């Protein structure tokens, strides 16, 4: 059974249709990269899956269960967690409290907390620090820890590397690669860096104006194809003119 | 002088309790409740009604008011306030302004407009006191009020710092959506915060009616004092609120020792001075003052250091 299935989701912001009939499935342990230009609807799709945005049409299934009507706060408990665009840590709290909140609200154990710290040693050194004073890379690490402590079966990561230094991006992807090896959680990542996305994922979808315009395994896609889809140049075989 | 300061400090306990409720709603729900003072007065009238109509013993009546106020807060947050929050910041102001008017007229309709006091029901507690050295005399009631204020604010601070619901409140206060992503039912948390704020309003109203007379129209003045205590003490920290309440009480009390009219004026004056310092565009001076505020906040552990907005 798929870990996550999105069926014909349409999401609007007022009159603007940001996501238009998108369907996706992700298998357990799979890593899916979502790419697409600014405004393509990636964040809206993620927010709809996480329950922060109500879809106008369509349904979301988690492990085969229809969660379309489950409120956002009920989803982490069921195994769906999202690292939102901009991380959005609780800046008035310590790193420990940031992670503790997710842990206690979803009823996970101290053991899970410990295991997450083992997987992200850098976070252990930051526990007592206020989350407001961290560097971008540190913040992303804490946001990932905060999501992992809910023991997700599906982890959504929006704009993984936005605003991070190249070194910090490497570190974040090392962490994610280790998670991928662990193989428990399926991951869906939004990544602007095409090479990065193609190098890391098992499968890639490209969104354009609210629709999926290209989907495939990285080995079956050329960079050329992907960037044409990204900029909307691929329509039909004679669109290159 | 010493007498005035002591009385002012004790009076500050009352202000701290009424201000804490306002501050909690500001902080956690991001909601400005203009009916807060009227709700305090409602608490006093509910206590009076429980004694007069239900014939409850005084302390039982007081104990009953708190859950009733909490229930009212919960219901209003659920069915009114949460909806107004979706309509921008003006709507909560209008809605609670209207709620205040409804409460004032409703209380007048039911209880009439003559002044009332809980003091009549409290035996000798309303005038008992202790004679201290240096000719100081302190009333039992003001001391009890102050002690209750410290316990209540301390309890709230402990709750916010060390409990699951407290962490959920702080998270919701910074970012309700991000809180939901961690499994926090942000709307429920806001209801809990409002329920607590209403209880604090009710408690404050009963304290008020124990030491003074109230009328159905006493609320707006109490709202102003609550706002002043919050602003003087700094938004978002309960110990700051206690300090703000005490500062306001001392200013009023010192003012009153000059002349009766100066009771309120001195409080307003302090409020404007603090506001002016905080908002003045005097450049480095302003920064220095703000850093100084931050340092105090740090020292008292009101905030984590990361929250500091003003670099040293
Ligand atoms: N809260 C909102 N209100 C109105 N319109 C919105 C809102 N959020 C997004 N949009 C619009 O919806 C469309 C899709 O935006 P979305 O943020 O989902 O795209 P994105 O692919 O995540 O873009 P980016 O790469 O910039 O993050 C855009 O046209 C955007 O302007
Ligand atoms: Mg986005």
A41-67 tens-digit pLDDT = 999 999 999 999 999 999 999 999 999
Asked if the model's pLDDT at residue A135 lies above 80, the reply is: yes
* Nearest-CB residue to B181 (from A82, A130, A132): A82
**Closest residue to B304, CB basis, from A51, A71, A93:** A93
pTM: 0.87
**How many cross-chain Cβ pairs, A to B, lie less than 8 Å apart?**
89
Sheet holding A4-13, edge to edge: A16-26, A4-13, A57-62, A65-66
CA B37 from chain centre, in angstroms, equals 9
C-beta A38 within 6 A of ligand 1: yes
Tens of pLDDT, residue by residue over B253-273, are 998 888 888 888 888 888 888
Whether the predicted pLDDT of B292 surpasses 70? no
Long-range contacts formed by A210-215: CB under 8 A, 24+ apart: A210/A17, A210/A18, A210/A19, A210/A20, A210/A22, A210/A40, A210/A41, A210/A44, A211/A20, A211/A21, A211/A22, A212/A22, A212/A23, A212/A24
Residue A192 alpha carbon, nearest atom of ligand 1: 25
pLDDT at residue number B237: 75
| Ligand 1 atom 31 nearest Cα | A39
What is the pLDDT confidence band of residue A80, given thresholds at 50, 70 and 90? Answer: very high
Q: What is the mean pLDDT of chain A?
A: 91
pLDDT value, residue A237:
42
pLDDT of residue A73: 97
* pLDDT at site B290: 62
pLDDT for residue A239 is more than 70? no
The model's confidence at residue B275, banded by pLDDT at 50, 70 and 90, is: confident
**What pLDDT shows up at residue B129?**
80
Phi first, then psi: give them for residue A136, nearest 5 degrees: -55, -45
Least confident of A47-51, A236-240, B263-267, B283-287: A236-240
What whole-number percentage of chain A has pLDDT above 70? 97
Please answer whether residues A157 and A84 qualify as being in contact, where contact means their C-beta atoms are separated by less than 8 angstroms: no
Q: In a mutational test of the pocket of ligand 1, which residue from A19, A20, A44, A192 has the highest number of ligand atoms less than 8 Å from its CB?
A: A44
pLDDT in tens, B45-63: 999 999 988 888 888 988 9
pLDDT at B280 over 70: no
Block residue for tokens 């040693």:
A121
For chain B, the structural domain boundaries read 2-263
Chain A residue with CA closest to B172: the answer is: A90
Ligand 2 centroid to A39 CA: how many Å?
7
| pLDDT in the model for residue B286 | 55
d(CA A141, nearest CA chain B) in Å: 16
- Please tell me if the CB atom of residue A36 comes closer than 6 angstroms to any atom of ligand 1: yes
Task: Write the pLDDT tens digit of every residue in A154-210.
Answer: 999 999 888 888 989 998 998 888 888 877 789 999 998 888 999 999 999 999 999
How high is the pLDDT of residue A241? 36
By C-alpha distance, which of A210, A214, A209, A229 is closest to A57?
Answer: A210
pLDDT in tens, A85-119: 999 999 989 999 999 999 999 999 889 899 999 98
B260 to chain A nearest CA, in Å? 43
pLDDT in tens, B5-20: 888 999 999 999 999 9
Query: What are the distances in angstroms from CA B190 to CA A129, A227, B165?
Result: 27, 46, 11
Residue A218 CB less than 6 A away from ligand 1: no
| pLDDT at B85 (0 to 100) | 87
Contact across the interface for A104 and B306, Cβ inside 8 Å? no
Tell me: pLDDT of B300 over 60: no
Q: What is the model's pLDDT at position B231?
A: 87
pLDDT confidence of residue B295: 58
Percent of chain B with pLDDT over 90: 56
Rounded average pLDDT over B269-280: 79
A79 lines ligand 1 (CB under 6 A): no
Contacts of B38 (CB under 8 A, 6+ apart): B99, B100, B103, B104, B219, B220, B223
Looking at residue A49, what is its pLDDT? 97
User: Does the structure show a pLDDT above 60 at A236?
Assistant: no
CB-based contact (8 Å) between A78 and chain B?
Answer: no
B128: pLDDT strictly greater than 90: no
pLDDT of residue B177: 95
The class of domain B2-263 in CATH terms is mainly alpha
pLDDT given for residue A84 in this prediction: 95
For ligand 1, atom 7, the nearest C-alpha belongs to: A13
- Pick the residue with more confidence: A190 or B239? A190
Question: Ligand 1 within 6 A of A65 CB?
Answer: no
- Laid out side by side, the sheet with A31-36 consists of A80-83, A154-157, A186-190, A31-36, A203-208, A211-216
Task: Label each residue of B161-186 as H, E or C.
Answer: HHCHHHHHHHHHHHCHHHHHHCCCCH
Of chain A, the end-to-end C-alpha distance in Å amounts to: 43
Q: What is the mean pLDDT of residues B100-126?
A: 89
Find the DSSP H helices in chain B. 2-24, 36-52, 58-76, 82-85, 90-111, 140-162, 164-174, 176-181, 186-211, 219-233, 238-258, 262-279, 284-299
Of B167, B178, B185, the CB nearest to A84: B178
Under the banding of pLDDT at 50, 70 and 90, the label for residue B312 is very low
Select the residue of B171, B185, B305 nearest A90 (Cβ to Cβ): B171
Task: Determine which of A60-69, B135-144, B189-198 has the lowest per-residue pLDDT on average.
Answer: B135-144
CA A211 / ligand 1 centre spacing (Å): 13
Ligand 1 atom with least separation from CA of A40: 21
């Amino acid at each position: 059974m798929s870990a996550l299935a999105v069926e014909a989701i349409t999401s609007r912001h007022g009159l603007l249709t940001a996501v238009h009939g998108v369907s996706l499935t992700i298998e357990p342990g799979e890593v899916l990269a979502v790419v697409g230009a600014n405004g393509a609807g990636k964040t809206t799709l993620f927010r709809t899956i996480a329950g922060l945005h109500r879809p106008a049409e369509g349904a979301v299934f988690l492990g085969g269960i229809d969660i379309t009507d489950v409120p956002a706060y009920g989803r982490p408990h069921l195994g769906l967690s999202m690292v939102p665009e901009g991380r959005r840590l609780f800046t008035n709290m310590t790193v420990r409290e940031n992670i503790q909140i997710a842990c206690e609200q979803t009823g996970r154990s101290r053991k899970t907390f410990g295991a997450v710290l083992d997987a992200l040693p850098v976070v252990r050194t930051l526990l007592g620090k206020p989350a407001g004073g961290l560097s971008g890379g540190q913040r992303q690490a804490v946001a990932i820890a905060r999501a992992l402590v809910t023991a997700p079966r599906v982890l959504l990561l929006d704009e993984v590397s936005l605003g991070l230094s190249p070194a910090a991006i490497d570190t974040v992807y090392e962490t994610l690669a280790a998670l991928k090896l662990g193989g428990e959680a399926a991951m869906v990542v939004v990544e602007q860096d095409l090479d990065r996305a193609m190098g890391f994922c098992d499968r890639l979808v490209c969104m354009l104006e609210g629709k999926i315009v290209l989907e495939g395994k990285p080995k079956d896609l050329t960079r050329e194809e992907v960037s044409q889809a990204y900029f909307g140049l691929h329509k039909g075989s004679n669109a290159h003119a | 002088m010493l007498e005035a300061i002591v009385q002012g400090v004790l009076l500050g306990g009352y202000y701290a309790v009424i201000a804490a409720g306002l501050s909690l709603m500001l902080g956690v729900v991001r909601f400005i409740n203009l009916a807060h003072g009227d709700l305090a007065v409602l608490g006093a009238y509910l206590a009076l009604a429980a004694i007069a109509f239900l014939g409850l013993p005084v302390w039982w009546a007081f104990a009953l008011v708190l859950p009733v106020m909490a229930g009212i807060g919960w219901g209003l947050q659920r069915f009114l306030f949460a909806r107004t929050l979706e309509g921008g910041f003006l709507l909560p102001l209008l809605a609670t302004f209207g709620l205040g008017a409804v409460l004032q007229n409703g209380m007048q309709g039911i209880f009439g407009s003559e002044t009332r006091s809980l003091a009549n029901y409290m035996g000798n507690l309303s005038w008992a006191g202790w004679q201290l050295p240096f000719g100081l005399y302190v009333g039992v009631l003001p001391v009890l009020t102050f002690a209750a204020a410290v316990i209540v604010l301390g309890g709230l601070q402990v709750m916010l710092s060390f409990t699951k619901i407290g962490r959920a409140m702080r998270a919701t206060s910074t970012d309700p959506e991000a809180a939901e992503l961690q499994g926090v039912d942000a709307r429920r948390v806001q209801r809990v915060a409002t329920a607590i704020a209403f209880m604090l309003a009710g408690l404050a109203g009963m304290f008020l009616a124990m030491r003074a007379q109230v009328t159905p129209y006493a609320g707006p003045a109490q709202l102003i004092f609550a706002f002043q205590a919050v602003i003087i003490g700094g938004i978002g920290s309960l110990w700051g609120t206690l300090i703000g309440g005490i500062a306001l009480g001392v200013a009023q009390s010192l003012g009153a020792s000059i002349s009766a009219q100066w009771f309120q004026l001195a409080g307003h004056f302090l409020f404007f001075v603090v506001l002016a310092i905080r908002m003045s565009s005097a450049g480095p001076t302003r920064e220095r003052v703000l850093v100084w505020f931050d340092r105090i906040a740090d020292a008292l552990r009101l905030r984590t250091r990361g929250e500091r907005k003003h670099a040293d």
